[in-house]
A and B are shown apart, each in its own frame.
Chain A
């Protein structure tokens, strides 16, 4: 009769291990993590970009997943630029991130809030065309100062 609690206990242990393994990866490789977040923005952003160009029909779900990728990146990135991650991997992060850290974090917060308000505002093709371009225009504010050109 103890089988079910055992399975549950093992499951719980396994779950905790999986979680901690996940957080170990996060702590050990913030460069890979933050790059994955940026890549998710790029990958999910291609469909909305094609919609703006008129190459693809409007698809609200695709726009929302692009905005969610931005929201995620804005939310998670501040923790992914510890002082220890200036170098050590293949990174285009510039030292200015740590020199002007308050500004850098403010811009990440703006990324998150822009994406959040985009999710609320964009409900159809007209609101997409009205609001989405300005969200994209902000990307350069960080890439200008904080990302190396390669």
Chain B
């Protein structure tokens, strides 16, 4: 009996130790004085729009996309998320953050106090962001007006309300943070397009099906699927779903929201279009070229309505 109790204790303590070890938040970027100097505001503005920051963090129900007070509700099967304030406000926003704080938030999903962020914040994509872009983005964010007030807490069910468990999610679904390296065998525009699609633009976060734990189904990346927030369907943006699309069609969609059929996109894509319209035409064409270069992937079947 005593042996059994000891064995049970060993298993429980060992299990807890393993859980804590596995779920410990890990920063990706070390403090570096060079990271805290400089930063190009204008380049940061492009990173801001390419990254779609305003789509979630801009204060809802007003038109100024640089008022980053947060509060937008994002519904999900796990509960409701509320985008935080990332304005330059020193207390309610991120006005006191250093670049290293922003880098660890974006690349590793770790807050300055060491807590995990929920993957509604697309750090699984931002994990491959380049540090000079993070530094430029930080410089740009500091130029946005301070907005008072914090967003309300997320409203999630058990066990998703325990942030520590996100460590397991990261082990399963988040890549190891590492800045994306250009593929020297490919043209510069393709590399730029890949970085804009896969990293900053985080297109796969909405345009891919997810499994029951909210991880992207790797083999169907960008192949479309049910909308996380509601009843709708997000289209396949690999060549399987873009059969008759030209690069000009895609560039025009990203600039104006117009599809080749003459329709105008709706839902959350309208906000993406507003971001993409701020990029250069070359950047939009790079996105188009990268998407059209992907292997065609068949996504989950769209239900008949």
Kindly state the separation between the CA atoms of A144 and B230 in the bound complex, as whole angstroms. Answer: 13
Interface flag for A59 (CB, 8 Å): no
Q: Mark A139-150, 1 if CB is under 8 A from B, else 0.
A: 111111001111
B257 with A140: CB separation less than 8 A: yes
Indicate which residue in A42, A137, A147 contacts B257 across the interface (CB closer than 8 Å): A137
Nearest CB of B to A34, in Å: 15
Q: Which residue of A lies closest to B268 (CB)?
A: A144
B232 with A53: CB separation less than 8 A: no
Interface flag for A45 (CB, 8 Å): yes
Number of interface residues of A (CB under 8 A): 24
- Given the complex, which residues of A lie within 8 Å of B23, measured CB to CB? none
Indicate which residue in A42, A52, A144 contacts B271 across the interface (CB closer than 8 Å): A144
Number of interface residues of B (CB under 8 A): 30
Interface flag for B258 (CB, 8 Å): yes
B270 with A141: CB separation less than 8 A: yes
Interface flag for B249 (CB, 8 Å): yes
Kindly state the separation between the CA atoms of A137 and B256 in the bound complex, as whole angstroms. Answer: 5
Nearest CB of A to B139, in Å: 28
Q: Mark B288-305, 1 if CB is under 8 A from A, else 0.
A: 000000000000000001
Interface flag for A11 (CB, 8 Å): no
A144 with B267: CB separation less than 8 A: yes
Kindly state the separation between the CA atoms of A139 and B253 in the bound complex, as whole angstroms. Answer: 12
* B-to-A contact residues, CB < 8 Å: 227, 230-234, 248-249, 251-252, 255-258, 260-271, 273-274, 277, 305
Q: A140-B270, A149-B232 are in contact. List 13 more A-B contacts (CB 8 A).
A: A42-B262, A43-B262, A45-B258, A49-B260, A54-B248, A55-B248, A133-B255, A136-B257, A143-B270, A144-B271, A147-B266, A149-B234, A149-B266
* A-to-B contact residues, CB < 8 Å: 41-46, 49, 52-55, 133, 136-137, 139-144, 147-150
The 5 lowest CB-CB distance pairs between A and B, nearest first, are A149-B232, A143-B266, A42-B262, A140-B270, A139-B264
